[in-house]
Structure 1
Amino acid sequence: MAPVLIRKASHEAENQYELSLRQAFEALEPQLRPPFCLTIPNQQEYLQLNRAILYGVLCEPHFAEIHIKHLHAKVTDGYCLFVSLLVRIVNDLYVKLVDSATNQLIWLTKQMIDVLAVGFDGLLFCLLRQIVGGDFSDENIWLCSELVRLFLLKWDSLLEGEPFVLNSALYTFLRLLADHYRFSSNAKLDALKQLEIDFCVKMLREQFHLCLKIGRDLVRLLQDLIDVPEFQAIWKDLVLNPKVFKTPGFSDISQLYHLRTSSRYFLLRITPEMESQLRFLLTHVKFGSQMRYQVWFAKKFLLGPERETLIVDIVRFICCGHHPSNEIIQSDVIPRWAVVGWLLTCCRKNYVAANLKLALFYDWLFFEETMDNIMNIEPAMLLMVYSIPKYIVMTHTLLDFLLLLVENYDVDRSDIIMKGVASAFGALVQKGVVRSLEVLTSCKELYPLLKEKLGRFLSVTKVGFPKESQPRSLACHSSPTVSLPTPTPSPERQPKATREHELTRSADACSLLVSTRESHMDSIESLVQNLGETIRNSSTMGLENLEEVLFSLVRLWSQQPVKSSICPEVVSSKIAKEFELNGYKLFPPLEHLPDAPHHDDEIGSATALIIRTFIFSQDEKMQEMLLSWSKNGFPVGARLLSYASRLAQEADMVKNVMVDINFGENSYSGITILTFHVDGYFSFLNGRKGDSSKSIICTSKIDKEFVGMLVDRAFTAYRCFLTYKRTNLHKEADTSLSKLLFSNLRLCSQWEKKRLKFLFGSIFRHLADLSVSGEDIIKLIVSQLDHADLIDMQLEIGLKKYSIFGESTEIVSHLIKNSLCWNCLEQHKLWGLLRSELAVSKVQVEKIILEFFCSRQLDANTDAIAVGGLLALCNSCAPTPELVGTIMLLPNNVFQDFAAAALATWAVSNASMLFDSLSKFSEKFDDKNGHSTSSITAGITINRSAILWLLDHFNAQGTIGFNILTNLSASIQGEKAAEQS
């Protein structure tokens, strides 16, 4: 029996390729032992012999040397056939190979390099593709380590035989090193990182002429490695001293910009299985039916804490490695831009989202129509355009990022960047990808500031476009919903002084995502150290210093979140200490009302700046700072919630105005925190610090949709903080987000009596899943709010602006039951709210009434307020057949006249509907089949007060209710008998 080559589950069918190798081995096994036959095989025999030897080498390590000598003796084609068989093993079977076979595969690859076998470069290429990005399993680290060792060990042979395969290795290990450097260290990974650094530095220093063949994406990969000390020196030489690479003709990094990267490099970072699934999705799956394929793909390839970085490689492949035919483009198959949009929503880490957008726009920056392919830039343009108007936030995010790249990617070579992006826009119009750029420049939904920025760029670059409107087809497309990612601020610029400053300045200018990290960290540490002195000299300057620290930290952490000497907890402690020493405690209770004339801690304070920056960034390290303050007893969550609530309150004031607010003209009072927040947003967006003591008011009109986005983002930030806090502080305890929200609400209710109704209203609007039907929250409302505020809430509930109780009949019934132990005033307030909501909701009032009256024995004192509330609720509802039927069947309990009172009220307010419903109810007692009425009504007891009221009412009306009375005659007779007795 042949040894095992692959792992196979019991339910799996035979792999035909593995079967062909095994059968060849079994058939020729006697011939694979010395002495070997000296006859020359024919073509078919030669194929079978190669298969048998390959199977033998992989499955019999102890005979591997004998098998390889046999191959050397019989080879007639420069090992071409044998290598092609090996390549298929790698592509089709690698993930199934048993461990001993994978070891032999690497050994066999080295043998093929030693003999310079035909096609060994393709074999190495396929092996590199099997290293999975973001996978830190032992198997994957082993493969990566073995291959990087192989490239170092066989350096000379590779240079002699196939030097360009070293380019593929460089591309692969640069990309992997960026992931490995972010991951927490362990012995295996540390050893691997050093091997990767040794190989990549050796390539860049000794064979730079080969590295140039990669093209412009070499720069993109090096950007991710600026934190690795060995690469900082390479960056400085690349930018300022290119002659050190001793490559004829290379004199400036801009020469790399003009070299388009071949699509074969993008295949290196996705496995063959990923490639086949992506190509299937993009060639066979109809637009609108892609969800289950996307979910499957995400579970298969993207599930894991570090797998998210793969998304960047996938986007680069989609843009540059997969160009659909015209037939596919014109069909209903899901377009590339839609898949990219979905992948952008999969990004949870800010730096991954930034790298994805850079990958999406990278060819825009250096686009030359004569050299570059317009298909590389098409997905980004169509994603921006087809997101209008339904998913305008996507358009905002991408266009804003592109314009930031234009301004900041390489300031010293900005003319190249501007020319490239202008050429890209021009080619997209000229080739008919879009009819006109007016789809962006005339878009009403686009932020005014962003539209102005785009118009200025197009005007400066003189990009021409015809005056045509947006194509109608755009309206029928959509893209995945996303929340607004964190804007990427432009890096700070250092003044030119010494040679070292010049090195720092140029390396910084070379990329939006790359900075000389050491100087950046030194600058931040210096700002933090000087914070106390600055505050003592001037409180205004102290706030400006704090904002500069916060902006710098966000840039540092979001662009490349690897290890740094700046610890969030240390920074947070230092900030709190320095402000406290100068008489201000961070996150203090809001003892002063927001309209206090001389003090408003939610605007222009250190606390407000911290909260505002976190809302804009939502960076994980910022969350660590907030958590650190929270651990030390600061009411961080309550202050965050209060800020978001007040922002929502002022946003509502703006929305109630019929025209857009012009902040520059101070045309509307009472929006102080909104003005403060809007100004901060544009400061953050543009990477500048504002005047923290007095908000710089924007001169642009701000539309209501934009204001709504800011409010949504504030509550999203608050939710992020709650989630982070629960994960890190309440790992063991059963603490839900709803409980954390209630804790913050209770604290806020002690501070802000005047704004409480807005606070509660905002959580039901923006945190409905955490607040609606929450018993603790509802009890807090009725205990804290006065009657005037409750009336306002009832009006808003009646207008369906939000819901308090939800649409679960069971939950509402349970709440009513629990409220019976509340004090009288709280119960009365509760029933006012219940009446307002249940009258306009889908909750089945009849079930609530039946549950209340039938679940237990009622008490005249304990249940009186609830019964009164139910009666008022009945009066506010229409007498539907279901509700009237329930009233007619209520048990005869302590509140004897409840049913009659409800019927009497309806008889006045909605008599026609009442008697229609009564007629339908009575039909259940109608003897249509000749059965006795008593048998039909057996077991059914009609409410006594309802029957008596009906008798009195119909007696007064004559025969108008004859049919109803006839059908209910059995019950009526029972009532009369009961009265007589």
Structure 2
Amino acid sequence: MKLIQTSSHEAENPIELSLRQAFELLEPKLRPPFALTIPNPQEYLLLNKAILYGVLCESHVGKTHMKHLHAIVTDGYFWFVSLLVKVVNELYVKLLEPVKSQLIWVTKELINVLAVGVDGLLVCLLRQIIGGDYSDGNLWLCFEMVSIFMTKWDCLLEVEPMILTSGLYTYLRLLADHCRLLSNPKLEALKQLEVDFCIKVFKEKFPLCLKIGRDLVRLLQDLVHLPKFRTIWKDLVLNRGEFKAQGFSGIPQLYNTRTPSEYMLLRITPEMEAHLRFLLTHVKLGNQKRHQAWFSKKFLFEPNRETLIIDIVRFICCAYHPTNEIIQSDVIPRWAIMGWLFKSCTKNYVEANVKLALLYDWLFFKERTDNIMDIEPAMLLMVYSIPRYIDVTHTILEFLFLLMDNYDVEHYDILAKGVSSSFSVLVKRGVIRSLDVLTSCDALSPILKERLGRFLSGRKFEISKELQQACRPADFVSLNSSCMETPLPLTEWQPKCSQGDKFGTKSAETKVMISDDAASSHSPLVVAREGQVHDIDNMIHNLGEAIKNSNPMALRTLEELLLLFVSFDGQGPESGFILPDVLSSKIKKLYELSGSKLFSPFKFHPDSPENSDEVGSATSLIIRMFVLSQHQNMQAMLLFWLKNGFPVGARLLLYASRLAYEARMVGFFGDAMVDVNSITPSDSGIRLLLYHVNGYFSFLHGRTENSYETIESISKAEKKLVAMLVDGAFAAYKCFLVYSRTALFKDAENSLPQLLFSDIMTCSVWERKQLKFLFSSVYCHLSDMSIGEEGIIKLLVGQLDHADLVNIQIELGLKRFSIFGENTETVFCLMKNSLNWGCMEQHKFWGLIRSELAVSTVEVQGLLSKFFWLEKLDANASAIAVEGLLTLCSCCPPTPELVGALMLLPNSVFQDFASAVMAKWAVSNGAMLFESLAEFSEKVESKNGDLAIHDSAGMLNRSAILWLLKYFNGSDTDISGNLSLKTMCKNAMR
């Protein structure tokens, strides 16, 4: 009996071998009558493997094997389904045809019993359907899977309704291919079934369809030539009530929803994904040709496979986002792969759909909700194709405007706004330094340049003159000539480094960048009309009078003054100048004359919240105005106060943090701490949130009446708005941090994380009550400046008490944010540096690191090996860290990699560390431990037979070997039938 097809020269597949060995070992127990004893965890694991092998290979007794499985199952079929998923992902292509049939049969059986994880198994099977493949085997799988969705509809709704959306996405995409092949009679029955399934999902479960987002529209428009889909489309446009989806507001709602990356993976087989990730992770720019040729031959060579390029482009844009280290390396960038795929298209309709896949997110891009990485490849492909591949630049830009004008004429404004936002964010975030590279490119079509210029001008595209002048087209000459350079990194992409500033000021998230001269008080930033200057003078006088008489009147006057100042547009006759420094100085003096001080240290009075100066003060009004407008004039005013010694940054950070705290407290942002349907001013614990939301609506409608007071209530329906405002507050803080660093702190010693650390330190002196949430907010909203920063982490463990740290640990366990990040080298450096901290700080540090690493992708085995091989590992100085590692290892699963690292620990300080960890694993996860140990011993033995065991004996950890020998002597357990482990242990002790 065999599972897979193998050639004589191929080595045995380890998965197939493991299943077969389990079957051969337990074969007598797989025949009726079955044993009535309850298997232990190790026996249960082996029994699942054996039954799976029997089900797939012995179709004539498959029902008997399934009855056996039903009788012994104790985990909701989780382990059995996990084994099936592994078989599908790694062996499906090689499975024998009868085995594939049994695979489908057992999947149906698992759906009938509502097995845990069966939805994941269905996704894996959907991914094995290859687009553009019309072979009998592929069409058979298409038919079987859509039949499962139709016949097991009710069961799937009970297991996981969202699996229907995976099926819908898959079959909408497949139908587009299947309908193009008109001369294949084998397809007719399949196409009808696919259409019936998709229409059924649309009509009966349309609210689920909304989860797919904007790509649902893209796929549906490929099928409007079919009558049933044309009806669906008409209802979407003209009669959306037909779908009975409460709250559905029409196609714009889908446009505004980014399609989750999981859907992009559905049309890429696991094998394809693995090769693409290798290409984009390990292959260096300039060495990619042979890899690309191999990939084309492997996956795109068949006549109709070219449509796969569409799905690959969507995958690269939306599902593969490279890490900081890869972007900074010489690995081939995504835009270069896009160029190759673009040039690989030979059919016009494929090329058009590839361009649509590349540019689709541009049409609906919103900075707040979308990911800039989705639109970055198209921009860089246009830029780096100049001038050598100018036809690529020309084609993409021309197609972008064609889409904007014709894709959805009724919603042109949405599309134009999305494209405008895309260009703006790409410049603002530093993907490119300036759009001059396009607008001033002589090689580009004059008509296209003129259209681009008109569009940017018509949308009031915000690019500062200083930023444009900082990078002329000549700056791109070396990049364009070879088309081989890596793209300019985004601020968020930059990795941690020990030298220089890791946050480039040119990629700041600011609307306006200023030159050094403009930052000084001698250069006017705003040229105002004479009438506006007169109004400002009058308001300053009125503000002085109002401050003497009434605080509410003073606040109203101050807000009117600030609104007028941010409304200056720099146009008109240059008859007067209003300097932010001058206005800031006058406001400062007026308040000081009345005995008040702007941006004074914050004092919190929990028993009398009405005295809180976060609400109803000039400082809070100024902060709110800046956060809501982020206007260059407000930035310059804040800069003046910062230069005069005011803690502006700390007050901004605390304001944003308190907004986030209050929003979360009532369920607008994360989990609710209280159960309410609407919040009123009597809820004094959220006065700042009410104050800020009211200011937003006042600013939105250009009014100042009562905007310094609180509104009556906030409905729970406004959750998205509140979340947007909280995100905006942190974005404004970061914006100011970048701005102030550009103007005041030009040396590398004052990086953004250091400025953030300074502000947190100041806040920690003012505020003790909500300090825990300040740190949580920083890691949630300012992760690019805080994750892995030693100073901030040390401040956290030094300032928070144990109760607060436990709450932080819980949030880390729930993966609400990260403190250490996923860079193993960064985490190890933090571990090593913490050895010099105080004992209490170390204990708290390890509590945090255990909580995060237990649920992260950081390779614990790498940390373990590096730590124990430190040259100077002192027993006393390292005791707390070793205790932390002991607990961390014990709560991690004994994977082959981690167990292997443990077996190779040096025989030095803390000699019994390895045996202590294994003893705990033997109790909690014995089956996995001994399977990993067996795999380790096989690797050692496979190097050179028994000789390798003798040679490796001196390298093995002595305490681990002694414990294993003791375990073997005191236990009757047969370690998976593998004797090499016992042999290795005995030889190691000779």
Tell me the TM-score normalised to structure 2 length. Answer: 0.48
Normalised by the size of structure 1, how large is the TM-score?
0.49
